[in-house]
Amino acid sequence: MKLVLALALCLTLTSAAFAPQLPPRPQPGQPAVTAAHRGPTDEDEAPPAGASAYGPYDEVWRVHTLRKDIALTFDDGPYPFYTPLLLHVLDRSNVHATFFVVGRSAQSFPELVMRIVADGDELGNHTFNHIALTKLSDREIQRQIALDGSLLRRLGGEPVSLFRPPHGRFNLHVVVIARALGYRTIFWSDSANDVKDIPPSLIVHRVLATASPGGIILLHSGEYRTIEALPTIIDGLRARGYRFVTVSQLLDEAPDLPDR
Ligand SMILES: [Zn+2]
């Protein structure tokens, strides 16, 4: 029955070009995805060992590119205190980043979302209520993504095509529903674990130590220490020859991006 409902949901969501193949939900004790590609249990976890550029569900962990390009991503918010500071640092450094924005915060502070866009930065969908989607029904997953998407489209003026699940929690249902709604699911290759109470110097060290071409760096919008660390991160990566791009720009330069 659930399979029928899931298929019915996806058929209503997707275009003819995309044929969803949702398996039934896993039984208790059965992993939703293979162990090698299971999603991190929290946003501040490292990606799974050996994470490839594209996972089994076409989700993105990094991008294959010969260029020394790298993408900064900021999750959560927008926040009235932190987001303007963050935008100021990025603007001063002439860096564009990708912001995965939560709908309930965007609704409270729409002017900050519009400022992100006005600054030339990119918006990504991070759901409306920031609930772990693996706990929700297919219908609720769809609603969480669609609500944030329509809000961001209205505020930003154009559709958003990138999606990151809250806490990095995902399974096939999450990725397939996101894709049916027009999103590519984006994770990260490097995390500074900046949601912990750690000094800026450690955030800098973690980012610089793990950065690589085509990398996607996970940081958080609501952390003052991250904002303190950001100028040194930017200078350090530039000194190593990196160029900052948005996630969409990174995806555009991937020579072997699988067909969608
Ligand atoms: Zn988040």
List pLDDT tens digits, range 111-128.
999 999 999 999 999 999
Is residue 44 flagged as an active site residue?
no
- Residue 1 Cα to ligand 1 midpoint, Å, equals 32
Q: What is the pLDDT of residue 55?
A: 78
Q: What is the pLDDT of residue 26?
A: 36
Task: Give the mean pLDDT of the chain.
Answer: 83
Q: How many domains does the chain have?
A: 1
**CA-CA-CA-CA torsion for 73, 79, 82, 88, nearest 10 degrees?**
70
Is residue 220 flagged as an active site residue?
yes
Beta bridge partners of 163: 125, 185
Q: What is the pLDDT of residue 197?
A: 86
**CA-CA-CA-CA torsion for 133, 136, 140, 141, nearest 10 degrees?**
30
pLDDT < 70 positions in the chain: 1-52, 255-260
Beta bridge partners of 70: 215, 244
Residue 217 lies inside a defined structural domain of this protein: yes
Catalytic residue among 75, 76, 148, 194: 75
Residue 165 lies inside a defined structural domain of this protein: yes
Token representation of residue 147: 């609500």
Helix (H, G, I), strand (E, B) or coil at 61: coil
pLDDT tens digit sequence for 159-187: 999 999 999 999 999 999 999 999 999 99
Q: Which domain holds residue 7?
A: 2-13+60-252
Q: What is the pLDDT of residue 241?
A: 98
Residue 30 lies inside a defined structural domain of this protein: no
Residues surrounding ion ligand 1 at CB below 5 Å? 75-76, 166
Residue 50 lies inside a defined structural domain of this protein: no
Cβ-in-10-Å burial (0-12, 13-18, 19+) of 215 comes to buried
Residue 34 lies inside a defined structural domain of this protein: no
Q: What is the pLDDT of residue 7?
A: 39
Q: What is the pLDDT of residue 204?
A: 97
Residue 146 lies inside a defined structural domain of this protein: yes
pLDDT tens digit sequence for 229-255: 999 999 999 999 999 999 999 999 876
CATH of the domain at 232: 3.20.20.370
Catalytic residue among 37, 130, 173, 220: 220
Residue 43 lies inside a defined structural domain of this protein: no
Residue 111 lies inside a defined structural domain of this protein: yes
Cβ-in-10-Å burial (0-12, 13-18, 19+) of 85 comes to middle
